[in-house]
Structure 1
Amino acid sequence: MTKWLLRSMTELSSRKWISRVTGRFAQSPASRRFIPRFARMYGIRVEEAEKRLEEYSTLNDFFTRRLKIGLRAIDNDPEALVSPVDALITGAGEIKSGTILNVKGQDYTVEELLNRSPRTENYKNGYFIVLYLSPTDYHRIHTPVDGTIVEREHIAGKVYPVNEFGLRHMRRVLSRNERLITYIRHAHAETAVVKVGAMNVSSIKYVEPLHDKVTKGEELAYFEFGSTVVLLTEEGTFFPRGDLQTGLKVKMGERIGTIVSR
């Protein structure tokens, strides 16, 4: 009964207009006084932030903060695929005939995740990694490989939560929520960076100016409040590091596997 009630409340609250209202408040000067409380509540390591707390003009400004320069080491091995975010891995494994298996008890198809893109075929027997960003985490998204952006796609959708409850008890959240997808070609292999919006996220934004040639570790986009990134690699192009599994906490720039050309 409790689970049903929570699910129903989430369905009702996960509407675009509520996210817009929440987003407007987070971007208002009135939200500034909540920054210290927010940082304490979530145990955010404020010493890592680029600026002092009092220098942030809004809660959103703090949430989308940059880190001090050089705080995250980027694995510069040309064949290293690095984590694009600070996150908890909530799913990882081989894609079986176009199906992403057992992400918090639910299966997804690559076709629905990629909005039936013609590129779906490239990933039907590839590898997936689901990276969840909690409110505690740094929320800028970086490029996982050197390469060229060959396509960007925005998919409008819902704003359901992508936390433990949302992924386990809401129906197919990763493929129903708003998504911003970036396809990056690295030598002769391609990686899809799927940025999934969440409840109370006002938007997912690219870092401007946009350009197609990207370097591993450079800023790609950012979330305005927490969410999830799904990485997809093509068949036969990715070999995960030995300890890559659900429950592993990773930092941006940390090697999560090796990517090779087909």
Structure 2
Amino acid sequence: ISLFTLLPLRLISRVWGFINSIYLPQWLRKPVIGTYSRLFNCSLEEAILEDLRLYPNLGEFFKRDLKPGLRPITEGNNVVSPADGSIIHFGKVEDEKIEQVKGVTYSLRAFLGPQTWQQVNDQIIESTQQYRKNLLRNKTDQNTSLYHCVIYLAPGDYHKFHSPVEWQMIFRRHFPGKLLSVRPSFARWFPRLFTINERVAYIGEWMHGFFSLTAVGATNVGSIKVYCDDELKTNKPHFFGKRAFYDKKFDKTVKFAKGDAFGEFNLGSTIVLVFEAPNDFDFNVNSGDKVKYGQLLSSSSKQL
């Protein structure tokens, strides 16, 4: 694994991005894109453009739009899946640890970084328990807890991601990092993978308090695009190794309705949700489940 981290995966990902952008003559599109589609079991019948000859390059095929109405958004004050993919892990955040797969954890503090988006001196948050509790809006009434959910997007999945709740976003933190594979089979052997890879965390609040959505990069996924954040540039060589992270506080609060388009990957990758919810909050999915964006992730609760 140590040797794997030394591979020039960021460069490989940039090269792959260049290949994806190469214009394909129309006669070549069907064999090239069709081969990719069959290899990764893409659902062509769901795309607005089913004719592969209409995609000028592989990149446009990766970003294909779905037919309207194909992903109904579950109504109500609940959490829905932000993307098509597989549930890797979920649950309550205990002792500031998050599981990336069963039995393999990483630090919440390392994943999100210092809480400088709040009016707080992060240096006084010494214990891991303090860090977790300080994220909560309701710090004293003990009626809420912190939860997480990890969703893996495979190369054949729909590559765009959406807002999983109605919320308002105030802050972005970009961590330049490595671009290791995030396939569950690899994540099982690589502790702290999600704190090492390049990622972009968007932080704000929803009706129950703290809410964050983090897009995690991966090998051949050097580009993460977020529609409301034109300044975001990922997998750039001049960023890597200079600073641990780059922050942006939005001049105006950015509001999202549930199901709103949020961003896209160039290939498969991972979305990590970390959020505050009532103590009786419960998930209605299992690890390994395939989900579609807009699909309910949480069971009904009298407080939701």
TM-score normalized by structure 1? 0.87
Q: Find 1:234's aligned residue among 276, 284, 293.
A: 276
Identity of aligned residues (%): 33
Counterpart position of 2:287: 246
Cα offset for 1:188? 4.5
C-alpha separation in 2, matches of 1:105 and 1:248:
18
Counterpart position of 2:142: none
C-alpha separation in 2, matches of 1:110 and 1:235:
17
Secondary structure of the residue aligned to 1:234 is strand
Matches within 5 A, 1:81-120: 81-101=79-99, 103-118=101-116
Distance 1:134 1:196, change over 3 A: same
User: Does 1:26 find its partner at 2:20?
Assistant: yes
Q: Which runs of 5+ in 2 are unaligned?
A: 119-130, 140-144, 231-252
Distance 1:261 1:179, change over 3 A: farther
Larger radius of gyration: 2
Q: 1:13-56: CA deviations, max 9, x gaps?
A: 45211111111111111494521110011111101012132111
- Alpha carbon RMSD of aligned pairs, Å? 2.5
Q: Find 2:162's aligned residue among 124, 134, 142.
A: 142
Tell me the amino acid that sits aligned with residue 247 of structure 1: G
User: Does 1:170 find its partner at 2:178?
Assistant: no
Q: Which runs of 5+ in 1 are unaligned?
A: 1-6
Paired residues of 2:97 and 2:106 also in contact (CA < 8 A): yes
- Give the paired residue count: 254
Counterpart position of 2:176: 156
Counterpart position of 1:3: none
Counterpart position of 1:4: none
Cα offset for 1:229? 0.5
Paired residues of 2:87 and 2:289 also in contact (CA < 8 A): yes
Distance 1:234 1:168, change over 3 A: same
Paired residues of 2:281 and 2:301 also in contact (CA < 8 A): yes
TM-score normalized by structure 2? 0.76
Cα offset for 1:189? 1.7
Counterpart position of 2:54: 55
